[in-house]
Amino acid sequence: MKTFSAKASDVERKWYVIDAADQILGKVAVEAAGLLRGKHKPIFTPHADTGDHVVIINAEKVRLTGNKETQKIYSSYSGYVGGQKVETPKKVRARKPELLVERAIRGMIPHNRLGRAQFRKLHVYVGPNHNQEAQQPEPYAV
């Protein structure tokens, strides 16, 4: 028996909608990352993009458990003196709520060219409306 390796022509891409309202951020991110990578498919190949498109709505209503809303820290450093920026999820939610979901998912996919290609299939929206009606996405329960 030979080892199966998926090619780009073998992949059938679907569209899914995940409603993040009152869902825990980590659980939404795990499901979305799995769909983006294609781990739910029998043709999953680690080095090929076999994943589907994911649309996440109501990103501003996602929940964090415990005291993470005020105690978790997102930090970035520019490399310059005094260039360290620190933000809590509460501040991120006020500034750009979809960034919470995007950061969580980005950490769960590969950090290379393949991961960037998979991340481009993620569409996150604040509120219940999205622009992907023409693709007829299926609802996905988390």
**Distance from C-alpha of 89 to C-alpha of 109, rounded to nearest angstrom:** 21
State CA 74 to chain mean position distance. Answer: 17
* pLDDT score of 112: 97
Tokens representing 43 are 């043709």
**Distance from C-alpha of 130 to C-alpha of 79, rounded to nearest angstrom:** 37
* pLDDT score of 82: 96
- CA-wise closest residue to 9 among 42, 58, 50: 50
Check: CATH 3.20.20.70 for 13-64+91-139? Answer: no
Is residue 5 within 8 Å of residue 129, measured between CB atoms? no
* pLDDT score of 131: 95
8 — pLDDT class (breaks 50, 70, 90)? confident
DSSP assignment, residue 67? T
Taking only the tens place, the pLDDT of each residue in 75-111 is 999 999 999 999 999 999 999 999 999 999 999 999 9
Alpha helices in the chain (DSSP H): 25-37, 68-71, 89-95, 98-106, 113-119
- Terminal Cα-to-Cα distance of the chain (whole angstroms): 36
Domain boundaries along the sequence of the chain? 13-64+91-139
Mean of the pLDDT values across residues 29-34? Answer: 98
Quote the longest CA-to-CA distance of the chain. Answer: 59
Instruction: Tell me the pTM.
Output: 0.93
Taking only the tens place, the pLDDT of each residue in 40-54 is 999 999 999 999 999
